[in-house]
Structure 1
Amino acid sequence: MFTQYFAEQPMPHRAPLTAERLAAIWDNHPEPIVLELLWEIHRLRATISRANQIRAFLAPGGHGNIPGSVWECFKRELDAEPCLQDKPTPRQHAAIDRIVRRPREG
């Protein structure tokens, strides 16, 4: 429900952080919670890299066949992804409610 709603209603995002910027954040804030967040970012970046690998196989000029090992790894990564299974938090419910109540422009 939650992920489906936001898939239909794109959220504005900040510009992606480069590896250099992530390293600078760690240099300026070498705290356990920052390290935990950086490991999560690393994990998500690895999933994005795998998706890009699959895109290269399927793109024009690619051969259209994804090696089974690449596909199985990607499926395992997605199946383990909490954001695809978690129920919305109270904060997320409040955000959805604000968006739904917002008058439509146009």
Structure 2
Amino acid sequence: MTNRYCPADLPALTAEELRDIWERNRVPDVRDLLWEIARLRQRVSSAHYFIALVEVGQPGAQLMAHTYLANFAAEPCVLEEIEADYSSGTPGSRKWRGEIPTDEELQLFEAMHREARERINERKRRRRR
């Protein structure tokens, strides 16, 4: 896992604060960022619910784990971490262990980058209008 600097003392923003940001910054790029934040907040809420089910020993929670892992495995931040691990020479990394990406992983990485480039280009076109 790559280490990125994220100050530990930054407070988590509430929904009210996010709405306030939107009210003061009604531009398409801020809207895109707020949609991503809303999507990630939903993921956190869903994960919290799942963990609570596991913690109380809810029947069927183990079966749900596969779905949750698949959903998280498709997240760009997870795919980026895996992709970076294949390039890292850090002891314990995939590259250090001599592993190479599977064809399926390579396809996932390429699709992620292709879709991201398409969205970036759309945002650039939007800015020129």
TM-score, with structure 1 as normaliser: 0.63
Q: Unmatched 5+ residue regions in structure 2?
A: 85-129
Contact 2:22/2:30, CA 8 A, preserved across alignment: yes
The alpha-carbon distance between structure 1 residues 22 and 11, as it changes in their structure 2 partners (threshold 3 A), is: closer
User: Match for residue 27 of structure 1?
Assistant: 23
The CA distance in 1 between the partners of 2:22 and 2:70, in whole Å, is 29
TM-score, with structure 2 as normaliser: 0.53
Contact 2:54/2:62, CA 8 A, preserved across alignment: no
Are 1:46 and 2:56 counterparts?
no
User: Match for residue 71 of structure 2?
Assistant: 77
The CA distance in 1 between the partners of 2:29 and 2:2, in whole Å, is 30
Moved over 4 A (4+): none
Matched residue SS, 2:12: coil
Contact 1:22/1:38, CA 8 A, preserved across alignment: yes
For 2:38, the aligned partner's letter is: H
Q: Whose RCO is larger (CA < 8 A, sep 6+)?
A: 1
Q: How many residues align?
A: 80
The CA distance in 2 between the partners of 1:51 and 1:5, in whole Å, is 22
Are 1:12 and 2:2 counterparts?
no
